[in-house]
Amino acid sequence: MFGKKKTKVDPSQDLKNQPVPEGSHLLEVDDLKMYFHTQDGVVKAVDGVSYTLDRGETLGVVGESGSGKSVTSLTIMGLIDMPPGRIEGGDVRYRGQSLLKMSEAQMQQIRGNDIAMIFQDPMTSLNPVYTIGRQLGEGLRLHRGYTKEQATARAIELLDLVGIPNPEQRVKDYPHQFSGGMRQRVMIAMALACDPDILIADEPTTALDATIQAQILRLMGDLRRDHGTAILLITHNMGVVAQLCDYVYVMYAGQIVEAAETFDLFRTPRHPYTAGLLRAIPSLEGAQERLYTIPGTVPAPGAPHPGCRFCPRCDQGEGDCDANPPPLTHLGGGHLVRCHHPR
């Protein structure tokens, strides 16, 4: 991010000041298709994904590595290199405006200001040669026109907001002087600097111990409650989803295979893949039992099964599963499933 010249943006063009059009949602991902064209063929990393997010909601997106979760979020942010990536269909709309049709200058206005993202690894996302204060202040100077002094003062407020002790001193420190949990808090502070409408959190608790993880989740819950922040949470951790999310989308091999309200999904999973993910959650009751794992692996990129993509790993597949791709079907009550024989 640093070292790259950024165009100063006009605060008067802030989309956050515009109303969401009637009948629309704050964020709409509509039949999005992001394919990668490689020497080995076409990789359908995101293949017809749709979901919506409104202010004050937390939406969870779960699935194994390679399911397309992070590629979807990076496409929303306009951070996929094209080529090799290519938008093959669909749209992403923020407050009714298509993000896919915006120029890079327009997306610079959106990133960090309207939609902010917490990346998986804070150590690789923070620049080791700049102080935390300087990095926190970059978005404020870019989007809000803050002076150096104003940006520093706001950086101290942000560090205090995310629970970092002695923020007046820590704002002068470098990333290597922070623990993993503290660096993740810094990334959250950076994401919140300009009061974004939407916070995309990609595995925000990865590699954190249980205590720090609980603190980060509590902070995200506070943001939603106190500021109305809409949160898109991308994670492998079903326990985190149960604690924080209102609604859950389950992705497999680039597609949504199930979606439901969190309680409904955990109580009655209808897709065998979702049931497998839930069964794999460790339990104290079965402490002496071997942990369950879903047989097989996620299909290789560019080579999904011709019928149901989960069929080779499914324990309840039948003849039609092997040849015919199942549609995403509405079961009622906001529950969707992509399966010929839902549970």
Chain segment 147-190, per-residue pLDDT in tens: 888 999 999 998 988 888 999 999 999 999 998 778 888 888 88
Residue 43 β-bridge partners: 36
Query: Given pLDDT bands bounded at 50, 70 and 90, which one contains residue 10?
Result: low
Phi/psi for 34 (5° steps) reads: -115, 110
| Tokens of residue 68, six digits | 């397309």
Question: What does the alpha-carbon distance between residue 321 and residue 312 come to, in Å, rounded to a whole number?
Answer: 9
Question: What does the alpha-carbon distance between residue 264 and residue 221 come to, in Å, rounded to a whole number?
Answer: 20
| Tokens of residue 20, six digits | 């969401």
Give, in order, the Cα–Cα distances in Å from 85 to each of 37, 104, 334.
6, 16, 32
Question: What does the alpha-carbon distance between residue 115 and residue 229 come to, in Å, rounded to a whole number?
Answer: 10
* Sheet-wide strand order for 115-118: 115-118, 198-202, 230-235, 58-62, 247-252, 255-261, 335-337, 329-332
Mean pLDDT of 201-206: 83
Query: Given pLDDT bands bounded at 50, 70 and 90, which one contains residue 1?
Result: very low
Question: What does the alpha-carbon distance between residue 75 and residue 106 come to, in Å, rounded to a whole number?
Answer: 15
Quick one: which H or E segment has residue 110? helix 104-110
Given this model, what pLDDT does residue 5 score?
47
**pLDDT for residue 237 is more than 70:** yes
pLDDT above 70 as % of the chain: 93
Q: Which residue has the tokens 């069929």?
A: 311
Given this model, what pLDDT does residue 279 score?
87
Dihedral sign for Cα atoms in the order 307, 60, 86, 94: positive
Three-state DSSP class for 20?
coil
| Tokens of residue 58, six digits | 């937390």
Given this model, what pLDDT does residue 286 score?
57
Dihedral sign for Cα atoms in the order 162, 163, 169, 173: negative
Q: Which residue has the tokens 């922070």?
A: 178
Please give the residue that has the higher pLDDT: either 10 or 132: 132
Treating both helix axes as pointing N-terminal to C-terminal, what angle do 180-192 and 132-144 enclose, rounded to 10 degrees? 10
Give the predicted TM-score (pTM) of the model: 0.87
Given this model, what pLDDT does residue 284 score?
64
How is 54-96 classified by DSSP, letter by letter? Answer: -TT-EEEEE--TTSSHHHHHHHHTT-S-TTTEEEEEEEEEETT
Three-state DSSP class for 322?
helix
> How do residues 44-68 score in pLDDT, each as one tens digit?
999 999 999 999 999 999 998 888 9
